[in-house]
Amino acid sequence: MSEKEEKPKMTSGFWFDEEVMEDALVIRMKLNSISTDVESEFQRVQIIETKPFGKTLVLDGKTQSALGDEFVYHESLVHAAMLWHDDPKRVYIGGGGELATAREVLRHASVQEVVMVDLDGLVVDVCKEKLPEWNANSTDDPRLTVHIGDARTFLLDKKSGFFDVIILDISDPIEAGPAVHLYTQDFYKLVAKKLNPNGVVVTQSGPAGLF
Q: Which residues, at least 6 apart from 75, have a Cβ–Cβ distance to it below 8 Å?
A: 104
Is 169 tagged catalytic?
yes
Q: Are 93 and 114 in contact (CB under 8 A)?
A: yes
Would strands 163-169 and 62-66 be described as parallel, antiparallel, or unpaired? unpaired
Q: How far apart are CA 181 and CA 114, in angstroms?
A: 23
Among 118, 120, 164, 169, which one carries the catalytic annotation? 169
Q: Which residues, at least 6 apart from 98, have a Cβ–Cβ distance to it below 8 Å?
A: 57, 64, 65, 70, 74, 123, 127, 131, 134, 135
What residues are annotated to the active site? Answer: 169
